[in-house]
Amino acid sequence: MAKNEQRSSKHISSPHARESEELLQELDTNAEQGLSQEEAEKRLEEYGPNELEEQEQKSLLALLISQVNNPVIYLLTAACALAFAFGDTPEAIAIIVVIVLNTAIGFWMEFQARQSLKALKKMDIIKAQVVRDGEEREINAEHLAPGDILLLKTGALAPADGRILSESELSVDESPLTGESVPVDKDTKPLGEDTQVADRKNMVFKGTAITNGSARVVVTATGMQTEIGNISAMVSSAEDEQAPLDKKLQRLSRRLIWATLGLAALFFLFGWMAGKSIYQLVQTAIAWTIAAIPEGLPIVASIALAKGMLRLAKRNVIVKRLSAVETLGEATVIFTDKTGTLTENRLTLDTLQLEGARIRADWKEDGAKAGLSAQGNDTPPGKEDKRLRSFFRIATLCNDALLAEERNEEEAEEGKGDPLDQALLHFCKAYDEEWYEKLRGLERLAEEPFDSEDMVMGTVSKVEDSIFLSGKGAPQAMLDRCSRVLTPDGVKKLDEESRENWINYNEELSEAGLRVIAFAYKELSEKPSEEADVEEKLMQDMVLVGLAGFIDPPRKEVREAVELCQQAGIKVEMVTGDHPGTARNIGAQVAIVEDKQARAIHGSELREIEKDRPQEAVDTAIFARVDPEQKLNLVKLYQENGEVVGMTGDGVNDAPALKKSDIGIAMGKRGTQVATEVADLVLKDDSFPSIVEAIREGRIIFGNIRKFIVYQLSYHLSEILLIALVSFTVFELPLLPLQLLFLNLLSDVFPALALGIGRGSENVMLQKPKDPEEAILTREHWIRIGAYGLILTLALVGAYFFAREYWGMSPEACNNVAFFSLAFAQLWHVFDMREADEPIFNNQVTRNKFIWGALILCTAVIVAAYFIPTLKTALSFQALSARVWGLIAVTSVLPLLVIQLLKVLTKGRAFQF
C-alpha cells in the first residue's frame, strides 16, 4: 500500500486542475484505446486491487471480556476467591451467580445490537465498463487501475475516482459523498487546484450514482486512494469516545472499591490487634465487600438501558450500544444534516416570479393538492391568467420526467427523470389535474435536450391550433434568448431596465437558497423540419414568462422539535454539504437561526476560523459546503469546548464524524451502510423529531439510573454502618455474607430495576442539560445517601441492641432481627425515592406498577425463605416469636416515616430530602 500511495501522490495529484491531454500523458494512457490488458495487470499488481480495507471487528471473546472488565467484577471475584479459600462454598457460589448473570445480560444485549455487515466492502461489489486494447468490455470493479478508461451511463455507479474526458448531459448524485441535495451537472473544464470536492464538476467519485447522461472518464484513483477511501481511513483513525455514563459508573465504582478496601483493612487491623481469629476477620471483610458493592448496579443499569432501547424501537429509533441512550440524554449540541433529516429529501416548487407578481406554492393534503398565494402586496393570478397558463404549459410540455403513477406497476415506487422536472410535474398535476392531463397527451414535434454547455432545454408541441415552442433553463442563458416579456397587459419589449430587474429577481431567489430556472416560449408560424436545430435556430427572440424557485422543503414537525431542543438547552446546528443560501433558508424555517441573513460559515473558510478564531465557529449555527475532514474537526472542536456532541449523518462522508462524536446518529432509510455501521443510533424514519424522543428517553433513563443508585447506595451504606458499629463494639457479625448476597440480589435487582424503568417526569425536557463533567452523583446526592443510610442504620442498630441487651437474645437471634428489619426497611425505602415536590401518595414511584410488583415478589421470596427448611438452614434463620416480628415491623417502617416527614419539612428549600 505504501508503494501505491507514493506513485499516486507523485503522478496523479490534483487531476481536477489538469487539462485532459496533460493528464492522459502523465497516466500513459489513451482516451480511445485505453490501457492494454498487459499494462492493466501490471498496474493492478503495483497499485493493488480497487477495494477498500475492511474494518476490524471485535471478536466474540473480546466482547465477552469487555463485560467482565469492570472494577466491581474484580472486587467480587476477589471476594469469591477468599470465600472458596476459607471453605464458604455457598457464599462463593452466590457471588459467581451474580458475576455470570451480569456478564450474560451485557454480552447478550451488545451481541444482539452488533452490525455484522461489511458496508464498505459491499459498496465495492460492482461491475465496470472499460476500454482496453481499443475494445469495450465489462470487468469486476476491483480490477480497475489508474489510467483505465471508464464508460459511464445513466444508472451506473462510479467504480473509482476519475477525470471526465467527455460527457453528454451528465449529472451525478453525490449526496452520499458530499451531502449535495440535488444531482450535480458535470463538465470537462479544468478547475482551480484548491477547489473543494463538492465543487469538482469535472470529476466523478467512487460510490456516486450517474442520474443522467453518459461520460468517458479516465481513472485517477482506486481503492484507498479514492475520496471514499480517504474517508474510510479517517473512520479507522477516528477514536471512539467512551460514553459519559460508562465513565461515571467506572468513577463511582472505583470510589466504592477504595472505600471498601480501606474499611476492610482498618477492621482487619483492629481485629488482629484484639486477637480475633483470621477466619472471623476474613468473613467480616467478605461481608463488608458484599455490603459495600451494589452487586445489582451493572445488571440494573443494563436492563434500564435495554428497556429504553425497546421504548425507542417503538419510536423508530434503533439503539446499537446500550449506553448510547443515556449519552444522548446528556447531549448539549446536535449537529444535524439538512437533506432528509430536516427536509423531506425531495425538490418542490416554492416560488414563482412572474412580471408584476411573486407568488408561492401552497401545498395541501400532503402534497396531493396545490394552490398559489401572494407574497407582500402582490395579487396571485387566477387560473385564466395568461402568465400562469404559459408557465403551466411550458412546465408540462418542456419536460422529460415521469411521475411514479405514470410508470408501469413494477417501477411505481418513485418517479423517473431529473428531480426538478419531477417537481414541476408534481405541482402542475396537484394544481389542476384536468389541465395537466390534457397537456401531457399532446404530440411533441421537435426537441432540444438539456445540455450542460448551453444550459437550456426546448420542445416544440402542437397546442390547439398553434405550434408552441417551450423553453426552460438557467436564468442567464434564457434571458440571453429573450427579447420580450409576458406582463399582465400582454407581451412587451424586454428593455435593459426590465432585464436588470429580472437579473435582480434571480439573485434574490438564489440568495434565499432556491434553485432557480427561467421559462420562456415562442409561437411558431409552422412546424419545424426534422433537421431544424431547435436550440440554435428556434430558441431565439423568445417571450420570457418568469422564474421558478425550487427547494427541498422542511418537514412540518421539525420546527417544533428544534424549539423543544432549544428550550431544553440543547443547541441545534446544521452541518451540510449544500450551499450557504439553501442552508440559511431552511435554518430560518426550522428555527435553527432567527432569519435568512444569519451567518453561515463556508467550508473553505472553516479551517482558518478553527485555527485562529475557534469561538466564532462555536457561536455559529450553520456550516455549509463542509467536507468529511471538516465535519470531523468540528466535532473535535466542540468536544474540546466541553460539549457532548450528537452527530447525525447518512452518507459515507459523515462516517468519521459519526464515529468520533459522543453519539452518532445514522439515517435508516437513505443512510449508507457505512454510516449505520459506525453510528450508535439509527433512525428508521430519518426524522429529526425522533432524535428529540431519544433525548427525552435518555434524560429519563439517566434520572432513573441516578435514582436507583441513590436507593442502592443508601441502604448499602446502612449495611456497612451496621456491620461496622456492631463489629467494632461487640465483635459480632450482625449480617452474614450469604444473607447479604441474598438480600442484595433481591433489593439490588427488583425494586431498583422497577425504579430504573420508570416513565420519568413530564417536565424532563424543560430542564437544561447537565454539565458533562458532573458526576453521576452530586454533593447533594451524597448528602441524601448519607442521611438516608444514617436513618436506616439508627433504626437497625437500635433494634439489634434492644434485642441483645433488653431481651437477652442470642447473637444468632439478633442477627435475624437485623436481617429481617433491614430486608423490609430496604423494600419500603423505595417510596423515599419520590421527588420532594411530588405528592406523598401520587408520584412517579407510587404510579409505577413495576414497583408494586417488585415489592410483592420480594416479600414473597423473603417469607418463603423463612419457611422453606433448606433456605432457612442456609441463611441461618431462627424461629422468631410474635413480639420479635412486631419489633421487626416497627423497625422497618420507622425510617420511611422519618424520611417522608423530612421531605415535607424541606420541600421548596435549597436542600430537599
Give the residue numbers marked as catalytic.
337
Phi, psi of 82 (to 5 degrees): -65, -40
CA atoms within 13 A on the CB side of 166: 6
Q: What is the CA radius of gyration of the chain?
A: 36
Cα–Cα distances (Å) from 92 to 79, 81, 737, in that order, read 8, 7, 10
Cα–Cα nearest to 303, from 69, 102, 94: 102
Environment class of residue 732 by beta-carbon count within 10 Å: exposed (0-12), middle (13-18) or buried (19+)?
middle
| CB-based contact 394:401 (threshold 8 Å) | no
User: Residue written as cell 432513573?
Assistant: 704
For 244, the enclosing helix (H) or strand (E) is: helix 244-273
List of residues 6+ apart from 46 with CB closer than 8 A: 3, 4, 7
List of residues 6+ apart from 71 with CB closer than 8 A: 250, 253, 254, 257
| CB-based contact 31:24 (threshold 8 Å) | yes
Amino acid at 363: W
Give strand pairing partners of 383: none
Cα–Cα nearest to 1, from 169, 9, 592, 356: 9
DSSP letter, residue 416: B
DSSP letter, residue 320: S
**CB atoms closer than 10 angstroms to residue 251:** 14
Measure the CA–CA gap between 857 and 865, rounded to whole angstroms: 12
| CB-based contact 800:734 (threshold 8 Å) | yes
Cα–Cα nearest to 143, from 59, 234, 223, 263: 223
Cα–Cα distances (Å) from 517 to 139, 389, 391, 538, in that order, read 40, 17, 12, 19
Measure the CA–CA gap between 24 and 86, rounded to whole angstroms: 81
Phi, psi of 205 (to 5 degrees): -125, 145
Measure the CA–CA gap between 494 and 912, rounded to whole angstroms: 76
Reading the block at residue 81, the C-alpha cell is 476467591
Environment class of residue 138 by beta-carbon count within 10 Å: exposed (0-12), middle (13-18) or buried (19+)?
exposed
User: Residue written as cell 473544464?
Assistant: 189
Cα–Cα nearest to 655, from 673, 634, 681, 636: 673
| CB-based contact 118:52 (threshold 8 Å) | no
Cα–Cα distances (Å) from 214 to 139, 152, 158, 186, 374, in that order, read 18, 5, 12, 10, 41
Measure the CA–CA gap between 620 and 557, rounded to whole angstroms: 23
- 3-state SS string for 476-516: HHHHCCEEEEEECCEEEECCHHHHHHHHHHHHHHHHCCCEE
Cα–Cα nearest to 885, from 819, 810, 830: 819
